[in-house]
């Protein structure tokens, strides 16, 4: 009879241990002090997206045109080498921000879109300044992307901010 009781006690203990093993994590999640009812909808929201475009500043400068471009910073350096702000204007304080996309072979995809313009000290300098930015793209494109960079940036938006920061 004692043998029978020991067997029942072992089975009951085993059943209790198994029940605790399965119910322990479930009960801990349901009564967690860090679980707030207001946080549950937030957990179901999608994560924040990556930036929609690749951003950079192009300032007046001299430089050699790149034979091949294999980095994102190389794209901005290549345009900086091609951009020649209007002669004789000195520091104008003008800025143009435009969005543009490239094809895999470095050609411009679609139409560049000016998203911001900050006027400088002289309103007559606007047309020469915007023309100089357009001419930079005409001179530089198609950009000499490597095959890998071209595949990575094809169709992605770039935001270029052309800023005239030359000393007077």
Q: Is the pTM of this model over 0.75?
A: no
- Does residue 142 have a cis peptide bond before it, meaning omega lies within 30 degrees of 0? yes
Residue 85 has a pLDDT of 83
H-state helical runs in the chain: 2-30, 39-44, 72-82, 126-140, 147-153
Nearest CA among 16, 164, 162, 163 for reference residue 99: 162
Residue 168 has a pLDDT of 47
Residue 54 has a pLDDT of 82
Q: What is the pLDDT along the chain (168 residues), one digit of tens a residue?
A: 566 666 677 787 777 666 666 665 555 555 555 555 665 666 666 665 555 678 888 877 767 777 899 988 888 888 888 888 887 656 677 888 989 999 999 999 988 888 888 887 677 778 888 888 888 888 888 999 999 999 999 889 999 898 887 654
């Amino acid at each position: 009879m004692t043998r029978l009781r020991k067997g029942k006690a072992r089975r009951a203990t085993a059943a209790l241990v198994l029940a605790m093993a399965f119910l322990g994590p479930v009960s801990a999640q349901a009564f967690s002090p860090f679980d707030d009812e207001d946080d549950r909808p937030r957990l179901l929201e999608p994560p924040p997206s990556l930036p929609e475009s690749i951003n950079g500043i192009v300032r007046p400068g001299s430089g050699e045109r790149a034979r091949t471009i294999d980095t994102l910073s190389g794209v901005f350096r290549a345009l900086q080498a091609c951009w020649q702000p209007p002669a004789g204007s000195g520091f104008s304080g003008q800025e143009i921000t435009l969005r543009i996309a490239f094809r895999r072979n470095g050609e411009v995809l679609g139409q560049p879109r000016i998203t911001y313009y900050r006027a400088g000290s002289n309103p007559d300098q606007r047309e020469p300044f915007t023309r100089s930015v357009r001419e930079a793209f005409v001179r530089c494109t198609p950009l000499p992307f490597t095959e890998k960079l071209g595949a990575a940036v094809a169709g992605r938006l770039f935001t270029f901010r052309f800023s005239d920061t030359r000393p007077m």
